[in-house]
Structure 1
């Protein structure tokens, strides 16, 4: 039976990515698409690259009849989702791509996002959406909170190492490079081509980036004590992709063995041979994450490099992976597209 899907916030990058992936999904059909300022338009008008698809017109959320919808993806701005989800039918399955339900402690949400959480009852039922580590909870969840794309990349590199106790938990440094689509589709002066192209810069540096809340929450829970990583993201003049260089202290060979063993049966995570480093060009447009481990000339130190596409594995692909589990479908359905190259 085909599952009926609504996408709320379909006029943004992650909304368009959801449409692109679901277009060839064997078990999903898009029956409703929402947008705010672009309500009434067709997806072909908003995203010409989707003009070949027969899609419903964009409409306001309050115009959608959810009685025939099995699952809704919420690709809405932070804070907006809390209000929207609170008004949706309580039996509707929801995968949220915003930050609104990622942090279990509402006080932590207020700390990192600068405003009180308005739906603590929903937060209590939300399941963190890092699929490879929360499968059992996701299968039975009604509301799944997608991870931050930077947070997902760092966690794929580090979670197994923290679980296995093979690295020094007090000396972890994440140096991350991200493509510009991670900043969303809204017009921003610093993202103009003339100001972004030809250079790069760090942002939210000095322990200010919001995804640190996810790192703190997840790594501390695994370790059973506070774990605080040093994290600096950088914006690169490319459309898609994240590359995280993670510097750790531990035996490089054992680190590689730990990651290879943990991900041996994962369809979307590839651990490269020891000494090989991945590239964002190898995962563009796909739901794959590649991880490499390299030793250092200084004994006892290692570099773990993780790459993924921020719009796919870091957001919309992850969302579909979670939705597949929630709907009883094959977890990889609609997601085995090969990366785009060159």
Structure 2
């Protein structure tokens, strides 16, 4: 059994990761670190785990050596603790934004402060199996991308990989996210009385995930982000310009070829039906990312759509998928739940 620790286990991402790890046949949860809840039972904070575990949260000082550490800390905290966890684990999987960007100037521009561990940036492999699977097989440090970045990258990547869009013109993304994306300690803006019924634009320009999209796709990207009345789920709508002569059949073939062997990406672009385009609602709890597209043949304007559960494929599930790859385990182990319908 592989011994793993979750740091920041009291939050939504930490709780989702515990749910997945506790059901994984090759993993023993050695520690669930929470500064807020140390000494309290896990199922007192994550009630869905009742009868699944008798473990309690612990302090960081109580954690010994283990095979992997997953960091579900707030942004800007992981980089202050990284040296500590590297000494205690063979593998560190970071789910914060601290190591998602490999350029200190870009990091400062989007996060508003200087990076505190710049010497480690080049050592982190992006935790996006669909683009970096071979590098993940030997990675000791992994940085899982943001949820909206993952949906946006996977939606547009087939067109970039097959050289079907004009990279110089870049891409524009409009992202919608549920309230869990703000975390378990979110402020007044996420009170039910304020969030209910709202479609709140919280990042009209320069959302930090656009920098990740630019890094992974190699093009200029702009993103707006809106909070919608949902708890879980992310949907991104992206716009790009096709190269002259590219038709719908070529686009369809690029998507099919790119994701034919990917276990957790499904191409959804049907002519009719309620769910003919990617919809987060049917993905809740699953590690799938559904991607689709629509093409205006007269203008060459391409719209791509990505949808996922921000806590799973957008966070904890993607982290576990990377862990499986790194440890030489079946990639889908512990991640086969398909989602629910109706919900």
User: Which bracket does the TM-score occupy, shorter chain normalised?
Assistant: over 0.9
Q: d(CA) in 1 for partners of 2:223 and 2:110?
A: 15
* Unaligned ranges ≥5, structure 2: none
Residues 1:314 and 2:314 aligned together: yes
SS of 1:174 mapped into structure 2: strand
Moved more, 252-261 or 129-138: 252-261
CA offsets per residue over residues 268-310 of structure 1, 9 Å max, x none? 0111245431211221110001112223374422321111110
Q: d(CA) in 2 for partners of 1:266 and 1:219?
A: 18
Conserved? CA contact 1:178–1:235, under 8 Å: yes
Q: d(CA) in 2 for partners of 1:229 and 1:187?
A: 27
Query: What's 1:294 paired with?
Result: 294
Residues 1:248 and 2:240 aligned together: yes
Q: d(CA) in 1 for partners of 2:44 and 2:287?
A: 27
Residues 1:54 and 2:50 aligned together: no
Q: CA deviation at 1:340?
A: 2.3
SS of 1:203 mapped into structure 2: strand
Query: What's 2:223 paired with?
Result: 231
Query: What's 1:128 paired with?
Result: 126
User: In structure 2, which of residues 61, 73, 78 is the aligned counterpart of residue 76 of structure 1?
Assistant: 73
Residues 1:200 and 2:192 aligned together: no
Moved more, 179-188 or 149-158: 179-188
Moved more, 92-101 or 51-60: 51-60
Q: How does 1:174-213 map to 2 (within 5 A)?
A: 174-206=173-205, 208-213=206-211
User: In structure 2, which of residues 82, 97, 102 is the aligned counterpart of residue 85 of structure 1?
Assistant: 82
Residues 1:328 and 2:328 aligned together: yes
**What TM-score comes out, normalization by structure 2 length?**
0.93
Query: What's 1:223 paired with?
Result: none
Q: d(CA) in 2 for partners of 1:273 and 1:190?
A: 35
SS of 1:302 mapped into structure 2: strand
CA offsets per residue over residues 33-75 of structure 1, 9 Å max, x none? 1001111111111112212122431111122122xx1111000
**What TM-score comes out, normalization by structure 1 length?**
0.93
CA offsets per residue over residues 139-191 of structure 1, 9 Å max, x none? 10111001011100000011221121212221522111111111111131111
Conserved? CA contact 1:103–1:214, under 8 Å: yes
Q: How does 1:101-180 map to 2 (within 5 A)?
A: 101-169=99-167, 170-180=169-179
Conserved? CA contact 1:86–1:122, under 8 Å: no
Conserved? CA contact 2:11–2:72, under 8 Å: yes
Shift in CA distance, 273/158, structure 1 to aligned 2, threshold 3 Å: closer
Moved more, 38-47 or 299-308: 299-308
Conserved? CA contact 2:209–2:223, under 8 Å: no
Q: RMSD of the TM alignment (CA)? A: 1.5
Query: What's 2:16 paired with?
Result: 17
Query: What's 1:63 paired with?
Result: 62
